[in-house]
């Protein structure tokens, strides 16, 4: 009876040992396959591009009118200052005598240019529809995202370290 109990214990421990070895073998085989073949992640370019373009649309919906207003307020003054600086560099030559424009004349020119630029810019931007500009930005971001994903990331393989030791190749498949 004692011998059968010992044999049963031997058989039990042998079964545990074999089960442990089979489990280790399976885990090692799976790890080998993972490391050698890697993982492929499939991304839908269409969905990703739509998501990004909708986010661009939402962000730009509020910013475009502000950008237009900022352009209307800042650009005429900056353009007039730059043009006046160019006038200040030029000389008027009359009978071989060079004259510089006086400061008060330059200030007057700058004021006139600023008024002219402001009117011209306002007239040009008056017909600009912010919503159509936002739609164009949305469409452009969609096309650029889709194209970039296809050209730069399709079938690109990255090496990802797992637990700091194992490098697993991860391949992106863009659909």
- What average pLDDT does the structure give for the chain? 84
Check whether 24 has a pLDDT greater than 80. Answer: yes
Which tens digit of pLDDT belongs to each residue from 91-126?
777 777 777 777 887 788 888 888 888 888 888 888
Could you tell me the two tokens for 132?
């159509």
* Residue (of 123, 42, 29, 130) closest to 76 by Cα position: 123
pLDDT, average across residues 68-77: 86
What interhelical angle do 45-89 and 130-148 show, nearest 10? 120
Largest CA distance in the chain: 134
pTM for this predicted structure? 0.59
Under the banding of pLDDT at 50, 70 and 90, the label for residue 2 is: low
Could you tell me the two tokens for 114?
């600023």
Which tens digit of pLDDT belongs to each residue from 35-52?
677 788 898 999 999 999
pLDDT, average across residues 67-79: 86
Check whether 142 has a pLDDT greater than 90. Answer: yes
pLDDT at 129: 83
| DSSP sequence for 68-100 | HHHHHHHHHHHHHHHHHHHHHH-EEEETTEEEE
pLDDT at 1: 61
pLDDT at 139: 93
pLDDT, average across residues 53-70: 88
What interhelical angle do 45-89 and 103-126 show, nearest 10? 150
């Amino acid at each position: 009876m004692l011998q059968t109990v010992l044999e049963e214990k031997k058989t039990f421990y042998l079964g545990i040992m074999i089960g442990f070895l089979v489990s280790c073998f399976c885990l090692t085989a799976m790890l080998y396959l993972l490391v050698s073949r890697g993982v492929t992640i499939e991304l839908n370019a269409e969905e990703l591009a739509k998501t990004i373009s909708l986010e661009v649309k939402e962000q730009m919906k509020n910013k475009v009118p502000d950008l237009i207003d900022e352009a209307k307020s800042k650009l005429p003054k900056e353009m007039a200052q730059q043009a006046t600086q160019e006038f200040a560099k030029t000389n008027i030559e009359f009978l071989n005598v060079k004259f510089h424009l006086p400061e008060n004349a330059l200030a007057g020119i700058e004021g006139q240019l600023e008024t002219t630029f402001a009117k011209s810019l306002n007239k040009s931007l008056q017909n600009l529809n912010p919503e159509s500009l936002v739609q164009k930005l949305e469409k452009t971001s969609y096309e650029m995202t889709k194209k970039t994903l296809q050209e730069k990331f399709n079938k690109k393989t990255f090496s990802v370290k797992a637990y700091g030791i194992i490098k697993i190749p991860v391949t992106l498949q863009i659909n």
